[in-house]
Structure 1
């Protein structure tokens, strides 16, 4: 009997301990199985941006319902099943899934090709944003993006705040110098007035009254003011002339919100897959809608942006993309010559395109910019018999690597003819 009671007590103790463990994991955010570590949240943010953000937001309703506290409304097992196969879940007669469809029909979420672990990571991100709230979510998103899409172009744009600060600083410094000079002049005048034996001319100078009007009317002030004015006008005119045709930082709105950060960055799709002419043509060419359909005939079909592609195909109309990089007609540029022969990476001219949510013109694309590149860039002669004789002749007279400028890269007719 005592043994039986001991067994019962042991079982009771184990049950209590298990209950306490379950309660403790629930309190610390692990009872629902959703991870809370930063790595999972960061991975979940990438997955959410790539698969969910076009239809869902956490705190606001979009094409689909807001996802705030979704893990409290349904358990993880149900959410996993619904995210993977929403259509089958609705067809099974599930009351909650059917109610969602009735509310948002005819839109239905496409099947998501995500593993159980990836779904948990998405839920980890949703839970983190839910806890932080809308304001902190916006701040976190800005920090995560690093303001890459709106980064100021290098070497062209000067911060207006910095410029204003410099001007204000100079004015303050000039005011201090002026005050010091006035004080010194007063001290010296007072000192001279106490001296005896001054001649008439010195007396006249010391007793003369100071007048600002006389300064503005003086020939020296008028001459210096005119010179400064002419220099400012000349500087503004020259800068304006040099800026004609320079579109660095240009980032137009496109008819479809295509994200290079998502496609080229997160999914690592090669630029040449979409821009098929880059190795064999003068132009890199804009991808046709058929290339988009290689993936989107089965991926995110119900996305409003993807529907624009379907509409263009059905109506047999081209998508009116806005050109970002555009050289004047007087300049010749060949993509295949640079990419295929020269081995130049896309990022050399276009910047870190894989980090741009909205594409912008990264480089100046001026003649001076091109010439500077030709002066500094080594010729990609390795394994190319076309350059063997040129390299041999160059090495006979120079110890420096052969640059583009050494093979005619600075000749006018190379780009203008």
Structure 2
């Protein structure tokens, strides 16, 4: 009897341990997340404010699971405004980063957050060949590919106009009856056509690509780092103009990004681009050694690329908000341009 009781007790104890092990394993596996999917989410939604290893607008997120619980991270991601009000650690972090509110992502699920945590835990080095990071690219409308090819070689048109005008004058002087009148009319219409085509090219600066006071690369910012056009040109949705961002907008990131870590382009090296970032600091009146604004700064004198004639009225908000056009429809694939150029002729099809 004692032997049976001992056997039953051992069996029961074994079952208990086995059950606990299975439950624990299930919970651990459920919380692991997918680092590849996490990187896709991180690169799409988080890189404007965070990196893994250094301060940006927000704190570095590498190994965040070692510092914060999953519940804390989930609440911070999905409802940061309310979480800051109720959680002392979140409030302290909010005050540490100049009371800059974190953009909430209420549509993120627990699984999404677990995937991001998995990526911030292992980093790029932890992604295996079986877990390739998804490549995110800017969404580019293909409308610009439908535009007719541009031709700025119009030097011959004034000559044609003058020759046709001379012929019209010649036939007008010669009294050649109906044939002469018809010929003069045809020549006059042809002259008007070429004259109009020539005049329509005045002020059309397709391909205009001026040197700017700072070597700002749209490819690096909008392409490689995926910063939305309207983050800098914020008035495009609600105003006539798209707006030129002040140095203060640049400083949202460049308080913390003080050196260039990308691939140099053109004939420049890393030191050159570090100097360009220093120009932004100077324009904003920022002293990176003191991590503070120490002077009033001065505006950056950007050179305008797109310039419509005075008689033309164009409203960005009507096209961006009402019509829902992509910026690339008129401005071309700016996310591939280091130095922006005028892509379209801006004649509205006339």
TM-score, scaled to structure 2: 0.43
Larger Rg: 1
More helix per residue: 1
Query: Which one has more relative contact order, counting CA pairs under 8 Å at least 6 apart?
Result: 2
TM-score, scaled to structure 1: 0.38
